[in-house]
Amino acid sequence: MGGIESADVVVIGAGIIGAACAEALSAAGVRVLVLDRAAPAGATTASGEGNVLLSDKQPGPELELAKASRRRWPQLLDEVRELIGPDLAEVEWDPKGGLVVATGADEMGPLAALTAAQRAAGVEVEDLDAGQAREMEPHLTDQLAAVAHYPDDAQVQPVLATAALLAAVRARGGEVHGGVRADGLVTGRSGEVVGVRTGSDAIPCGAVVNACGPWAGHFSETIGAPIDVLPRRGVVLVTAPMPPFVRRKVYAADYVDAVASAEADLQSSAVVESTRSGTVLIGSSRQRVAFDDDLDVEVLRGLARGAIRLFPGLAAVPVMRAYGGFRPYTPDRLPVIGADARVPGLWHATGHEGAGVGLAAATGLLLADLYTGREPVVDPGPFRVDRPEVALEAGS
């Protein structure tokens, strides 16, 4: 590790969250260095479907962060494009909108309640009748009880977005190092962060951001400032590339319940969308099974059934791949963003569960706001590190 000198802030974890934090800090003139024990954008971020959603969020702090992030993404991408050029900044941003579909009468009431609350919170939602819905999505099932259209739902390719953010960090003089694991902190006299330990070396720095995704809980434990972040497995099916079939992001109304659920057992509900390469992505299951990533055919079966319920024509389409990942999950299902009072100089930015791609832009901004003492983009209170739901006692 001879080459690494020092930095103001070391960001640990080069997923989309670490990359967004590093980008925002470097834009504020902070000297950053990003470490990842493996390849940048190779972990959870590589599993993300890349939805930038408002539709799946209940009114509350997460929706506020999501709204800020939805506003921020296009600006952020413009700034990055300016810096690194249009080729490297091509991240497949697509404000294509989303449809939430209730196929059974029993789902109509909950969907109406959700949309009413979201409208009150400032989200744009349009109720569609079956005819309008099928005009937007010609291959949609004709079993339609109710459909809500969210014009502001968008999509981005998470790996390209992370790579572009890291390229921007580099362009501003920051450093990115893959294949370097953070093993612990070096602390000063009063317990404050003065460096990061990597094997037998140390990188001097004034602050550290724990952006280790689903491993953030583990890392926080090794440095004696534990936070409760756990993995929650998700699986996605990918079809063969096909002619245009699904235009927006379309999901079953029971998805919102699955997202909000705290159950450990399998939650599965259909989320269907196409990508620029012609494939259709079918998500998404949620299961707390530690870091077990064996294939489970029953999980795939549930996804297939859900997708066919929304789009019967998908039955004849081949699945060419299935992949899984571990969402970083917190007990109160809110991310952890901010300084950790237990160790001066330690910050966390993690716990975004199934929304880290969408929430990355505002998360980076919020962290940089707090670090530099600027007016925060959203109220940071709900994401505080010392809330009882996430701050664990050392050694517990």
Partner 1 sequence: MRRVVVVGAGPAGRAAAAATAAHGVEVVLVDSAPKLGGQYDRQDTRESGDRFALPSGVEYLPDSVVWAVEPAPGGHRVHVRTGPADSPERAGRALETRALVLATGAYDRSLPFPGWDLPGVYTAGAAQALAKSQGIAVGDRVIVAGTGPFLLPVATVLCSVGARVVAILEANDPVTGWMKRPGGAVAGWGKFGELARYSVLLGHHHVPMVRRSAVIAANGTDRLEAVIASRLDHDWNPVAHTERRFEVDAVAIGFGFTPQLELAVAARCDIEGGFVAVNAAQATSVPGVFAAGEITGIGGAELATHEGTIAGTAAAKLLGARVRVPFRAMRHVRSGRRFAAALQSAYPVRPGWKGWLRDDTLVCRCEEVPYGELRRAVGGLDIGGVRSLKLATRAGLGLCQGRVCGRNVAELAGLADAADGFSRRPVAAPVRLGELAEDTPVESER
Partner 2 sequence: MRVRVDGEEFVAEPGETVAAVLRGSGRDAWRTTRIEGRPRGLFCGIGVCFDCLVVVNGVRDVRACLRLVADGDDIRSQGWEEVPS
Ligand X SMILES: Cc1cc2nc3c(=O)[nH]c(=O)nc-3n(C[C@H](O)[C@H](O)[C@H](O)COP(=O)(O)OP(=O)(O)OC[C@H]3O[C@@H](n4cnc5c(N)ncnc54)[C@H](O)[C@@H]3O)c2cc1C
Region binding partner 1 by CB under 8 A among candidate stretches 68-76, 155-163, 341-349, 352-360: 155-163
The answer to whether 40 and 46 are in contact (CB under 8 A) is: no
Q: Does 138 bind partner 2 (CB under 8 A)?
A: yes
b/e string for 100-130 if b means 16 or more Cβ within 10 A? Answer: bbbbeeebeeebeebbeebeeeebebeebee
Query: Which two structure tokens, joined as six digits, stand for 102?
Result: 């209730």
Q: Does 297 bind partner 1 (CB under 8 A)?
A: yes
Query: By rule CB under 8 A, what string of x and - marks binding of each residue 223-252 to partner 1?
Result: --------------x-xxx-----------
Which DSSP state fits 331? T
For partner 1 (CB under 8 A), the number of binding residues is 47
Give the CA distances from residue 131 to residues 138, 285, 314, in Å, rounded to whole numbers and listed in that order: 9, 30, 20
The answer to whether 31 and 7 are in contact (CB under 8 A) is: yes
CB of 288 vs partner 1, minimal distance in Å? 18
Question: Residues 156 to 195: which contact partner 1 by CB under 8 A?
Answer: 157-160, 163-164, 166-167, 176, 178-179
Q: Which residue in the set 96, 139, 170, 387 belongs to the binding site for partner 2 (CB under 8 A)?
A: 139
If the CB atoms of residues 65 and 128 are measured against ligand X, the closer one turns out to be: 65
Q: Does 244 bind partner 2 (CB under 8 A)?
A: yes
The answer to whether 127 and 147 are in contact (CB under 8 A) is: yes
Region binding partner 1 by CB under 8 A among candidate stretches 65-73, 188-196, 319-327, 359-367: 319-327
Query: Which two structure tokens, joined as six digits, stand for 185?
Result: 């902190």
Q: Does 59 bind partner 2 (CB under 8 A)?
A: no
Q: Does 314 bind partner 1 (CB under 8 A)?
A: yes
The answer to whether 319 and 281 are in contact (CB under 8 A) is: no
Q: Dihedral of CA 215/216/221/224: which sign? A: positive
b/e string for 358-395 if b means 16 or more Cβ within 10 A? Answer: bbbbbbbbbbbbbbeeeebbbebebbbbebeebbbeee
Widest CA span in the chain:
69
C-alpha span between 238 and 241 (Å, rounded): 9
Q: Which residues bind ligand X (CB under 6 A)?
A: 12-18, 35-38, 42-45, 47-51, 181-182, 211-215, 219, 234, 236, 283-284, 325, 327-328, 350, 352-358
CB of 313 vs partner 2, minimal distance in Å? 7
Q: Does 242 bind partner 2 (CB under 8 A)?
A: yes
Q: Does 241 bind partner 2 (CB under 8 A)?
A: yes
If the CB atoms of residues 184 and 312 are measured against ligand X, the closer one turns out to be: 184
**Considering only CA atoms, which of 141, 98, 142, 86 is closest in space to residue 123?**
98
Question: Residues 311 to 330: which contact partner 2 by CB under 8 A?
Answer: 313, 316-318
The answer to whether 341 and 385 are in contact (CB under 8 A) is: yes
Q: Which residue in the set 1, 113, 240, 295 belongs to the binding site for partner 2 (CB under 8 A)?
A: 240
End-to-end CA distance of the chain: 33
CB of 303 vs partner 1, minimal distance in Å? 8
Binding site for partner 2 (CB under 8 A): 134, 138-139, 240-245, 278, 313, 316-318
Binding site for partner 1 (CB under 8 A): 14, 38-42, 46, 84, 87-88, 157-160, 163-164, 166-167, 176, 178-179, 237, 239-241, 277, 282, 294-297, 300-301, 304-305, 307-308, 314-323
